[in-house]
C-alpha cells in the first residue's frame, strides 16, 4: 500500500485553489450525511473565494435531498490523482443557480488533504509553459500538448481536442519535452488515465515513465523536486 501524508489546510486561499480545481475538472464528490450510513454523488457547482462560499449540486433521489436538508451536516470526500480531499460542512440554505437548485455552503475551517507520496504530483506554474510531443510506436503520427503537473513517476498532460488523438489506456508512446532547466527528455510513457473535458475542449492524460536510464531518472527527480518546492513557496506566500 502507498504511504500517505495528511495535511490540514486552513488558509482560505489554498482551500479555494483545491476546491477550484475540483470544480473546473467537474469531479464527482461524495457527500456522507452525518448521523447516517448514506452517501451520495454531488458536484461543486461554483466557488466564491472572496466570500469563502461554495455551491454544491443537490442530491438525487429526492429522498436523499430531503434527508440532507433535515440533517444539514455532511462530510465531503473526493479522491483524484492520488490525493484524497475531505472536510465537514453544513448546508446553510437551498438557493437557485441559473434556474437550478444548489446547496449554499461556507468554506470549511480546515480541509484534510491526504496525499499518496508515490503518486504526488506538483503543478507546473503558469510562468513555465512546457510543451510535450507524443509519437506513436510506429513513428507515423504525433501530437502536441502541455505538461500540467509532474511527479517522479509520471506526468499529467493537457491535450487540446483539436489534436484529434485517440488515447488508449496502457498504450505506450514516445514523449519528447524540455524541463524547466531546459534539459531535453526523450523517453517512453504508458497511458494510465484519460479524462476528456468537453467544456474546456481538452483531455487530461495521466502517463507513467517507462524504462528511464539513470541520467533521465536524475533529471526527472530534480525537475519534480523543483516544482514541489515552487508549489510549497506559493502555498506559504
CATH of the domain at 181: 2.40.10.220
How many whole angstroms separate alpha carbon 206 and alpha carbon 111? 25
CATH of the domain at 60: 2.30.110.10
Whether the predicted pLDDT of 216 surpasses 70: yes
Q: What is the pTM of this model?
A: 0.53
Confidence at 25, pLDDT banded by 50, 70, 90:
confident
Query: Residue 211 to residues 117, 187, 191, 216, 237: CA-CA distances in angstroms?
Result: 21, 8, 14, 9, 37
CB-based contact 208:189 (threshold 8 Å): yes
141 and 189: one domain? yes
pLDDT for 118? 52
Which of 75, 94, 119 is a domain's end point? 119
Domain residues for 25?
4-119
pLDDT for 82? 64
Query: Residue 205 to residues 24, 152, 155, 163, 224: CA-CA distances in angstroms?
Result: 16, 16, 8, 13, 18
The tens digit of pLDDT for each residue in 159-168 reads 999 998 989 8
What is the pLDDT averaged over residues 164-190? Answer: 93
Which of 55, 84, 119 is a domain's end point? 119
* Length of the chain measured in residues: 237
Which DSSP category does 149 fall into?
E
87 forms bridges with which residues in the sheet?
76
Whether the predicted pLDDT of 189 surpasses 90: yes
Which of 71, 104, 119 is a domain's end point? 119
pLDDT for 209? 93
* Domain tally, the chain: 2
Q: Decide: helix, strand or coil at residue 155.
A: strand
Amino acid at each position: 500500500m502507498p504511504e500517505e501524508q495528511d495535511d490540514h489546510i486552513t488558509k482560505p486561499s489554498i482551500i479555494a485553489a483545491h476546491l477550484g480545481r475540483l470544480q473546473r475538472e467537474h469531479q464527482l464528490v461524495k457527500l456522507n450525511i452525518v448521523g447516517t450510513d448514506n452517501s451520495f454523488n454531488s458536484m461543486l457547482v461554483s466557488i466564491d473565494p472572496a466570500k469563502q462560499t461554495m455551491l454544491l449540486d443537490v442530491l438525487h433521489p429526492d429522498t436523499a435531498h430531503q434527508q440532507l436538508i433535515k440533517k444539514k451536516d455532511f462530510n465531503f470526500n473526493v479522491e483524484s490523482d492520488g490525493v484524497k480531499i475531505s472536510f465537514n460542512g453544513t448546508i446553510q440554505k437551498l438557493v437557485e443557480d441559473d434556474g437550478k437548485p444548489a446547496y449554499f455552503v461556507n468554506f470549511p475551517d480546515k480541509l484534510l488533504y491526504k496525499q499518496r507520496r508515490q503518486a504526488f504530483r506538483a503543478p507546473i506554474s503558469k510562468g513555465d509553459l512546457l510543451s510535450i510531443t507524443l509519437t506513436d510506436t510506429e513513428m507515423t503520427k504525433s501530437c502536441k500538448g502541455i505538461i500540467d503537473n509532474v511527479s517522479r513517476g509520471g506526468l499529467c498532460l493537457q491535450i487540446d481536442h483539436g489534436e484529434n488523438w485517440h488515447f488508449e489506456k496502457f498504450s505506450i508512446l514516445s514523449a519528447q519535452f524540455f524541463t524547466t532547466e531546459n534539459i531535453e527528455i526523450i523517453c517512453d510513457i504508458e497511458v494510465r488515465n484519460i479524462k476528456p473535458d468537453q467544456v474546456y475542449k481538452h483531455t487530461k492524460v495521466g502517463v507513467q515513465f517507462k524504462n528511464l536510464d539513470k541520467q533521465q531518472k536524475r533529471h526527472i527527480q530534480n525537475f519534480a523536486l523543483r516544482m514541489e518546492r515552487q508549489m510549497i513557496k506559493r502555498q506559504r506566500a
